[in-house]
Amino acid sequence: MNNTEISQEEPLLENKSQRPPGLLSRTLFLYVFPLLRLANKTPLEFEMVKDLQIEDQSESLFNRMNSTFQIYKHERFALYKSLFFTFKSIFLIVNVEQFFIVYIIILIWNISLMYGPIMIRQTLSYIDNSEHTLGKSFQWLGIIIVVRVFNAITYQNSFYMLRKLGYDQHSAVSVSVMKKTLNVSFQSNKQYKTGEIMNIMQVDLQRILQLNIAVASVIFLPFQIGISFYLLFDFIGVSCLAGFGVMILGLLINFLLGRWGWKLQKQVMVAKDNRTKQAYEIFSQIKFIKANAFEDYFKNKLLRFREKEIQLIKKKNIVSGLFTLAFLMTPQLTLNVTLAVYIWLQYNLTPADTFTIISLFNILQQSASALPSFINQIIEANISIKRIQNFLLTDELMNDCIQNINDVLGNSIEISGTFFWDQIKNNQDPNKSTYIVPVNQVIDPILKNLQLKIEIGEFVTIIGDVASGKSSLISAILGEMVYNVQRQAPTIKINGRVAYVSQKSWIQNATLRDNILFGLPYDEKKYNDAIKYSCLEQDIKILDKGETTMIGEKGVNLSGGQKARISLARALYSDCDIYLLDDLISAVDMHVGKFIIEKCLCEHLNGKTIILITHALYSCQFADRIILMDNGQIIKEGTLDDIKECDKFDQIYQKYFKEQKNEQKDDQEEELEVLKLLKKKSSTQYINNTNKDQVDDLMILEDRKVGSVQSDVYKEYFKMNGGCLFFTFNLIVVITQVIARFGSQIWLAKWSGQNDLTYDENLHNLMIFSFFSLSFGFFALIRILTLSRESVNTANKIHTRMIDQLLYAPLCQFFERIPLGVLMNRLTKDQSVLDTEILWTISILYISCSNFIVLIFLYAVWKVQRFYMAANRELYRLESISKSPILSFFSETVNGLNIIRAFRKQEQFLDRHTKNIDLNRKIQIAQLQTTTWFSMNLTFTSFIVNISAIAFVLFFGSENPALAGLLMTVATVIDNSLQSAINSITQAETQFISFERCLAFAKIEHENGYKLKKDYIQNWPQVGDIKIDQLIVKYRENLSPALRGLNVVIKSQEKIGVVGRTGAGKSTVTLSLLRILEASSGSIIIDGVDISTLSLKQLRESITMILQESTLFEGTLRENLDPLHQHTDQELNDVALQCCLGELLLQKQGLDSEISENGDNLSAGEKQLISIARAVLKQSQIILIDEATANIDIDTESKIQQTIQTAFKKCTVITIAHRINTIMHCDKILVIDQGEAKEFDEPQNLLDNKSSIFYSLYLQGKKSNKI
């Protein structure tokens, strides 16, 4: 089909889809046929699928459910009640719950289903009657056809409504989780970590989709059982009571197995949470892991979490297998016992009674065989709903003490009180949603007895040592901290709108411009001013797409200074009344900091209220007031002249002046060089997708293949799942199981066709029939256990391969271009399909396709299945693709909650989340509609098989009623097996897309050099000589070099400072030394060894790099200092004290002090100190420092510099830094310009040369050193 035809087809489809379908079209789902036809002509895209009606949009669904949840939230089953009572429809002019309507339809379907055995009895009785005529046969056939058609329509429509209702509930709860997240502080509320919240969004919410059908099936099974035994009692009398007793015993056994399975499922979910949290932590800190060659350690750590999960899944599968066996065998044993009592009472079997009994038990067995899966889904959903409900009811932000006022004559900010970070829930009032710290709990306050008022238009700087409470003060103003409500409540008054620049910059995965606008309409003057006063003009000029360039997730391709200035631009554009700036100046170059203070804060923001936390005392001279903090208290405040009288300030000032007196400026730091990468990197896309014009060169879209799943994917799964041997074994088991099933029915037909049998003959027939029944159960158990074992092993193999390939994938070419949400989607949703769902699909597929007759009919309906799968495959892929932005955006939101709340953008982010859900939701509904259309067609196709058999019996079956009964029973089995087989094939192909997606990640190429190129060199490097010879480095082959023939010789133990202008190549040098970027030509020789001949593991283990952003993992201080557990406690304590961590050791629990996720319970300075201590412990001969002291106060930096000079005295050190003291003490300065070494000499020699680049930088920096 050419493009013209496609473009003509789409509008036609869209117009048709907007018109409401008629009753017949709705009932038979004919209205989806145009979409199916289009899918067979071209791969579907998002815009080809009908948009949602307003009442079906997630915002509308959430508003309805939230109203209901507020009514029931104090009750035990709040979320269950909300899910049930929220969604209503009109039924007979009465507005009732949709469940009521659906359950009425299901009840009608069950009644028509139970009419089947009655028809078999009546049909067999009719043909046994010598008076039957041709006309009556046609009349009887017509009645049967009407009943069967009615049965099919009610079944498909009821289950469509249940699934649709599940999507409605899922969407509403998803929005509820996002809304709750926007009102929870995870710094204060220690119950939840990022990984757990992500698991709620990725896994727990999915369980809701399964719940409705599972509950309906379980609810109506007792009805089916009751009707079946009523009919049995009517047909065969008291004999059925014995069978009823067996049925009750079987249900009791299954209840006990179900409870066991429920407990195991809870443990599985906890283990899944832990693995997800660990994976999220690892891949969000992948740069640190790769720079230190920690891949093996973290891989093994993650796989240990996975092993615990796998062991629990295996235990749960064994219990599920026993559960399934019990439900499969209960109807069989019930039939055996019923027949035994029947012949014991001296009755003879007739074909009418026999095959009516078989038909009834087939219905029970069919329901029972699906019930284990439904019970398992209910158990999983119940656990997930409880977890979601607990989260929805968890403590929210404390906001009752905050007063937002609008008073032109009042103060800008007033705050008083004592504030905490930790909160204990004992004795908490359940009716309050605020954090409470009970008075009987001893918790050290973070901020003590604050009394602070800031006037409108006042410029205030806050100074103090590390962990003195500076950042916490801003958090308290923003309402992020907790307080003790059993004492006098604090008071916080905010007079105006607030803009906030956090210490750790938060960047969205969006364009540079969108990051600055932050949802506000574009205003050219305001935008240009924001760019100008945040010094982003040159950054934008270097980009091919300028301000429309996409910035990577979390700003992975930006330096700390760039992220800080984008955050500042966002604050400036917001044009707020109050600006809270947390250590902004430390993250940028000195001349940039000087410009920001003098031009941006003092001039551009003149008249605005500004609170600036800073370690740069230079800025204090411009402040109207200086606040000095120590140990969570304000110890002095006033003007610069006032504050100079304080001894604490004098100490800080003397250290600052001593360190700053020789400081110079690095003209434009590293940042723009890294932004230049955005220009150099090209995007790789697997296929053009919607909004393709908006796709930037930076991020790789979620990969999407089109067409059917390739045969290689099935072969790979087949190979990993035991290969030919396992397949042959399973096939033999399944065929034997089917033979036992049909053998029992054939034998029963033979038995019932014999008249006037003796008791012994009946007993002999019963024993043979029982042998077939028990054989069926035995081989069913073998099939279930072997399949579950191999399926879990296969899922584990693909997970291990994914982790193995991902951890060793290239940093720049892969991780900096793949959103974390996409990666986590593979490790959670897709992996969950492989862990549990695909097992049951394959199991059903084995048993369904083992019937030779079924295979014949499968071929007959293959065309219909292919027609449907063309749409279903693409819709499934679109659904997966549209789900990743939901997860990525949610993850992004969780990481930026304090920013979002400070700017009061909660509604904006909630709206964006609902739009993401609606895009995904319209695909889900389209997928549901096409699937129901296919099921409806399949039902009518297989219906032909059943009706043909009945017609044959009516017209030609009078000579042998027993054979006629067998034919009708087998036809019913084939009918059900055919539907089951087609549905399983369809579901399997859909689920194999998850395997295909995981397999793609399992085939990612490693970085070059992980395999040893030569033997491991012991004790290398010992000296630390570095020779860079004619080094040319490119970020990609088709791009111009970032380093152009760089030549540098660094002697052992030399300390080298690296400076350079915009995009000079400073970071490229460090990346090349670690071979994160490989050399195009030239070489780097360290101690006489060309590093290109080494394995990456040895190279990176031998060189230490201190990154700009400190990296900490959840765990203890010991684990963060020594991840590989190579040092004694004494060594760790010594280094901790050496690196100024003594106070941290004393305040907390020593080396066992808990470090929260991302080190959120530590200050930025403390986190950086731990990073430096970790570097000291590594004892490398070569140290790379990349702007590592940007967020450390002057006092701490002085100690750190002394530590670096003593601890690394015998090491070769290469430093890239903001502050001049980090390079003026160096032996030599390397000035890089345009990828070449322009100057390389001792600092004094370069200063003596008045024409040197370094001297010009020194002069610029010297002007900004005085207070």
pLDDT by residue (tens digit) across 527-553? 999 999 999 888 787 666 778 877 765
- Asked if 1029 and 1114 touch (Cβ cutoff 8 Å), the reply is no
- If one compares 657 and 753, the residue with the highest pLDDT of the two is 753
Band (1026; pLDDT cuts 50, 70, 90): very high
Answer yes or no: is pLDDT of 2 > 60: no
Band (488; pLDDT cuts 50, 70, 90): confident
- Asked if 1194 and 656 touch (Cβ cutoff 8 Å), the reply is yes
Greatest mean pLDDT among 379-388, 440-449, 522-531 lies in 522-531
> What confidence score (pLDDT) does residue 438 get?
40
Percent of the chain with pLDDT over 90: 16
Greatest mean pLDDT among 217-231, 591-605, 1250-1264 lies in 591-605
Q: Provide mean pLDDT across the span 984-1001.
A: 81
Helix (H, G, I), strand (E, B) or coil at 544: coil
Summarised one tens digit per residue, pLDDT across range 799-841 is 999 999 999 888 877 887 777 777 888 888 888 888 888 877 7
CB-CB neighbours of 406 under 10 Å: 10
Could you give the CA distance from residue 334 to residue 342 in angstroms, rounded to a whole number? Answer: 12
Q: Provide mean pLDDT across the span 758-787.
A: 86
- Asked if 561 and 593 touch (Cβ cutoff 8 Å), the reply is no
Could you give the CA distance from residue 146 to residue 136 in angstroms, rounded to a whole number? Answer: 15
Could you give the CA distance from residue 875 to residue 933 in angstroms, rounded to a whole number? Answer: 14
> What confidence score (pLDDT) does residue 918 get?
94
Answer yes or no: is pLDDT of 458 > 90: yes
Answer yes or no: is pLDDT of 440 > 70: no
Band (92; pLDDT cuts 50, 70, 90): very low
> What confidence score (pLDDT) does residue 442 get?
44
Closest C-alpha to 798, from 866, 729, 719? 719
> What confidence score (pLDDT) does residue 354 get?
76
- Asked if 39 and 870 touch (Cβ cutoff 8 Å), the reply is yes
- If one compares 361 and 78, the residue with the highest pLDDT of the two is 78
Strands in 431-531 per DSSP E: 447-454, 459-464, 491-495, 498-501
Answer positive or negative: Cα dihedral of 970, 973, 975, 981.
negative
For 1020, counting Cβ atoms within 10 Å of its Cβ (0-12 exposed, 13-18 middle, 19+ buried), the class is: middle
Q: End-to-end alpha-carbon separation of the chain, Å?
A: 73
Band (431; pLDDT cuts 50, 70, 90): very low
DSSP code, position 131: T
Pairs from 370-374 (Cβ < 8 Å, separation ≥ 24): 370/217, 371/217, 371/218, 371/221, 371/254, 371/327, 372/254, 372/320, 372/323, 372/324, 372/327, 373/214, 373/840, 374/213, 374/214, 374/217, 374/218
- If one compares 1135 and 608, the residue with the highest pLDDT of the two is 608
Band (58; pLDDT cuts 50, 70, 90): very high
Percent of the chain with pLDDT over 70: 80
**Amino acid of residue 31:** Y
- If one compares 764 and 1108, the residue with the highest pLDDT of the two is 764
Q: Provide mean pLDDT across the span 483-497.
A: 83
DSSP 915-956: HHHHHHHHHHHHHHHHHHHHHHHHHHHHHHHHHHHHHHHHHH
**Mean pLDDT (the chain, rounded):** 79
> What confidence score (pLDDT) does residue 859 get?
60
> What confidence score (pLDDT) does residue 1167 get?
81
> What confidence score (pLDDT) does residue 1265 get?
46
pTM: 0.68
> What confidence score (pLDDT) does residue 821 get?
74
DSSP code, position 588: S
> What confidence score (pLDDT) does residue 465 get?
77
Answer yes or no: is pLDDT of 88 > 70: no
CB-CB neighbours of 675 under 10 Å: 24
Phi then psi for 1059, rounded to 5 degrees?
Answer: -130, 170
CB-CB neighbours of 1128 under 10 Å: 9
> What confidence score (pLDDT) does residue 1223 get?
78
Pick the range with the lowest mean pLDDT from 418-427, 794-803, 1075-1084: 418-427
Band (429; pLDDT cuts 50, 70, 90): very low
> What confidence score (pLDDT) does residue 147 get?
80
Residue 162, token pair as written in the block: 């249940």
Task: Report the DSSP pairing between strands 1103-1106 and 1026-1033.
Answer: unpaired
> What confidence score (pLDDT) does residue 669 get?
37
Summarised one tens digit per residue, pLDDT across range 696-726 is 444 444 555 555 677 788 888 888 888 888 8
Length of the chain: 1267
Band (17; pLDDT cuts 50, 70, 90): very low
Q: Provide mean pLDDT across the span 467-490.
A: 83
Phi then psi for 499, rounded to 5 degrees?
Answer: -115, 140
Answer yes or no: is pLDDT of 8 > 50: no
Band (501; pLDDT cuts 50, 70, 90): very high
> What confidence score (pLDDT) does residue 242 get?
84
Helix (H, G, I), strand (E, B) or coil at 540: helix
Q: Provide mean pLDDT across the span 72-86.
A: 87
Residue 651, token pair as written in the block: 């100490």
- If one compares 1001 and 138, the residue with the highest pLDDT of the two is 1001
Could you give the CA distance from residue 648 to residue 630 in angstroms, rounded to a whole number? Answer: 9
Closest C-alpha to 303, from 800, 702, 1001, 1035? 800
- If one compares 500 and 228, the residue with the highest pLDDT of the two is 500
Answer yes or no: is pLDDT of 942 > 80: no
Answer positive or negative: Cα dihedral of 738, 739, 742, 745.
negative
Residue by residue, what is the 3-state secondary structure of 1014-1027? CCCCCCCCCCCCEE
DSSP 667-714: SS-THHHHHHHHHH-----SS--TTGGG--SSSPPPP---SSPPHHHH
Band (347; pLDDT cuts 50, 70, 90): confident
> What confidence score (pLDDT) does residue 559 get?
66
> What confidence score (pLDDT) does residue 578 get?
95
Q: Provide mean pLDDT across the span 597-621.
A: 89
- Asked if 1057 and 1229 touch (Cβ cutoff 8 Å), the reply is yes
Answer yes or no: is pLDDT of 515 > 80: yes
Answer yes or no: is pLDDT of 952 > 70: yes
Summarised one tens digit per residue, pLDDT across range 1132-1157 is 888 888 887 877 776 667 888 888 77
Summarised one tens digit per residue, pLDDT across range 363-418 is 766 666 667 677 778 888 888 899 899 999 988 887 778 888 888 788 999 999 88
CA–centroid distance for 276 within its chain: 8
